[in-house]
Amino acid sequence: MTSIDVQQILENGHEAASNALNAFTEQLSSLEAKMSSEVDSEAHQILRSYAGNTKDKEEAIPGIVHPGATGVIYCTDRAQANGFSYGNPEWANMGQGAPETGDLPEGPPRLHNIDLSQWGDGVNEYAPTTGVKELRQAVADYYNRLYRQDKASQYTAENVCITPGGRAGMTRVAAVIGEVYCGYQVPEYTTYSEMLSVFKKLVPVPSALSATDKYKLHVDTLKKEIQDLSLGVIVASNPRNPTGQSIAGKDLEELVHLSRDKVTLVMDEFYSWYQYPDDPKDLGKTLSAAEYVEDVDEDPVIIINGLTKGWRLPGWRVAWVVGPRSVISAVSQSGSFLDGGASHVLQMAALPLLEPERVKQDIISLQKAFREKRDYALMRLKKIGLEVKIPPQATFYIWLDLSGLEEPINNGLVFFEELLKEKAICVPGIFFDINPAKRRDLFHSPCHHFVRLSFGPPRDQLEKGMDAIERVLAKHKHSAHLMGKKSASRLIPGANPHTSK
């Protein structure tokens, strides 16, 4: 208590005393609500209570080191602890990086039945780990048709390997990267830092993209990094998860040219279809490094894509790696000891989905429907007071900067916990940083003031999600504490059942 307060008490008696005391308590509460490190935050303590998320190396079972519970698994687990279940109509899942999977206006009909008898008993056998030949050819044709019509060098089935999903494709590639420095930029798709660290031969070298620069990957900066750090491989999602920005046109062309200076480019192009061009004549355009590859067998460019996002079939687990024949032979080999290949049945069922007219119709309907959802989400966020300064030009993610809000909800992890109480899910930004579970203090993460919102779900879910965000902000106005300050006496709601201690 300050000397002025004491004087007031003495001079003005009881009323002044109680006023001064109230003011002091208020001051104390607002100080308490200010968080400067993890120890002050209940939301962070919950995260740390999960197996694998302590800062020190754990080895409860001999030889087993838990990779840490972050990303969508953590978000879903926390959501379930707060009452979420898949298909529950009361919830809005803006966390999971998945597109809606039903019919879209003007889109081709979705597949509802698969008749196995059309392929005979052979379809019950293993498929080759490189994938079914017809599908490999269909994928090669897709790239030649969309991006390489005027090029002499064309992809063939030998330039394509089918994999059981995109992550399996990436893992197969990572398994054949030798002892080199492998560069990637954060924020980036969560899986990369975790996966790259598993392959001990390669050394992951992360660098940061800056918000002031709209998260743009500058080819000049990259060139310098390649030289200064002797990078042998660059991995990037393009369009980028979570920022929704992409390298396109001249920049992408330059990047592909850069690869000829002996650096292999691994381009994850899962969001290639999710483009929102301002000019209506660009509707239907998609993006791929394949457009700038000169010689398909010489240029060190590896492309990964699949049915997961563009075709909106994440459950099928059918994806592909496209690149020089020698690379495809290597990833076919790594697939034989890593995953054994994609489902034979679903590879056969995928064939009609790559037919040219169907693909065209699919892309246009997707771009229209997702643009409408993006614009709706941006409009609602602006109304709520959370204007997005760097709106997504691609993907179905909004990288939402909370730093303009007051503590504690300006922190992505706290915001995430508060949103769960309103039956909506987002992903805290820290999960897009490098190895977040092992960071000493997550408050030091550059992604700490962010959350990622997905406008993948159908419009009605998105509306519920935006209403939920509005309620969190309104609630915060009336209560300074929320999940911010850790209180020893408060029960942590749904605290983790898998806690390691």
Ligand X SMILES: Cc1ncc(COP(=O)(O)O)c(C=O)c1O
Q: Interface mask (CB under 6 A) for ligand X, residues 55-94, using x and -?
A: ----------------------------------------
Q: If binding is defined by CB under 6 A, does position 167 make contact with ligand X?
A: yes
Among 68, 95, 107, 165, binds ligand X (CB under 6 A): 165
Of 44-52, 160-168, 249-257, 463-471, the window that binds ligand X (rule: CB under 6 A) is: 160-168
Q: If binding is defined by CB under 6 A, does position 319 make contact with ligand X?
A: yes
Of 187, 238, 240, 235, the closest CA to residue 209 belongs to 187
How far from 245 is each of 276, 395, 399, 446, CA to CA, in Å? 11, 8, 10, 18
In one letter, which amino acid is 429? G
Q: If binding is defined by CB under 6 A, does position 314 make contact with ligand X?
A: yes
Q: If binding is defined by CB under 6 A, does position 130 make contact with ligand X?
A: no
Q: If binding is defined by CB under 6 A, does position 335 make contact with ligand X?
A: no
Euclidean distance between CA atoms 374 and 492, whole angstroms: 34
Among 95, 107, 166, 457, binds ligand X (CB under 6 A): 166
Is there a contact between 409 and 401 (Cβ–Cβ < 8 Å)?
Answer: no
Residue closer to ligand X (CB basis): 144 or 246: 246
Q: Pinpoint the alpha helices (H) of 159-199.
A: 166-175, 191-198
Tell me the closest approach of the beta carbon of residue 465 to ligand X, in angstroms.
18
Looking at residues 185 to 244 of the shown chain, list those that interact with ligand X (rule: CB under 6 A). Answer: 189, 237, 241
Euclidean distance between CA atoms 132 and 412, whole angstroms: 43
Residue closer to ligand X (CB basis): 373 or 485: 373
Tell me the closest approach of the beta carbon of residue 441 to ligand X, in angstroms.
27
Of 35-43, 79-87, 164-172, 217-225, the window that binds ligand X (rule: CB under 6 A) is: 164-172
Q: If binding is defined by CB under 6 A, does position 275 make contact with ligand X?
A: no
Q: If binding is defined by CB under 6 A, does position 274 make contact with ligand X?
A: no
DSSP secondary structure letters along 18-85: HHHHHHHHHHHHHHHH---SGGGBHHHHHHHTSTT-SSS---SSTT-------HHHHHHHHHHHTT--
Q: If binding is defined by CB under 6 A, does position 306 make contact with ligand X?
A: yes
Among 38, 268, 291, 401, binds ligand X (CB under 6 A): 268
Of 5-13, 87-95, 306-314, 320-328, the window that binds ligand X (rule: CB under 6 A) is: 306-314
Residue 142 has what DSSP assignment? Answer: H
Helix (H/G/I), strand (E/B), else coil: 199: coil
State the residue for tokens 């032979």: 329
Angle between helices 71-81 and 412-421 (to 10 degrees): 40
Tell me the closest approach of the beta carbon of residue 273 to ligand X, in angstroms.
13
Residues that bind ligand X (rule: CB under 6 A) add up to a total of 13
Euclidean distance between CA atoms 136 and 151, whole angstroms: 20
Q: If binding is defined by CB under 6 A, does position 347 make contact with ligand X?
A: no
Euclidean distance between CA atoms 141 and 147, whole angstroms: 10
In one letter, which amino acid is 41? S
Q: If binding is defined by CB under 6 A, does position 107 make contact with ligand X?
A: no
Of 154, 47, 171, the closest CA to residue 445 belongs to 47
Residue closer to ligand X (CB basis): 98 or 492: 98
Euclidean distance between CA atoms 424 and 304, whole angstroms: 31
Among 142, 143, 147, 270, binds ligand X (CB under 6 A): 270
Q: Interface mask (CB under 6 A) for ligand X, residues 440-479, using x and -?
A: ----------------------------------------
Tell me the closest approach of the beta carbon of residue 309 to ligand X, in angstroms.
7
Peptide bond preceding 242 in cis form (omega within 30 of 0): yes
Beta pairing partners, 163: 319
Tell me the closest approach of the beta carbon of residue 24 to ligand X, in angstroms.
50
Euclidean distance between CA atoms 293 and 161, whole angstroms: 18
Q: If binding is defined by CB under 6 A, does position 308 make contact with ligand X?
A: yes
Tell me the closest approach of the beta carbon of residue 186 to ligand X, in angstroms.
13
Q: If binding is defined by CB under 6 A, does position 95 make contact with ligand X?
A: no
Tell me the closest approach of the beta carbon of residue 319 to ligand X, in angstroms.
5
Tell me the closest approach of the beta carbon of residue 268 to ligand X, in angstroms.
5
The residues, ordered by sequence, that sit 6+ positions from 411 with a Cβ below 8 Å of its Cβ are: 35, 41, 43, 402, 443, 448, 449, 484
Residue closer to ligand X (CB basis): 288 or 308: 308
By the criterion CB under 6 A, which residues form the site for ligand X? Answer: 97, 165-167, 189, 237, 241, 268, 270, 306, 308, 314, 319
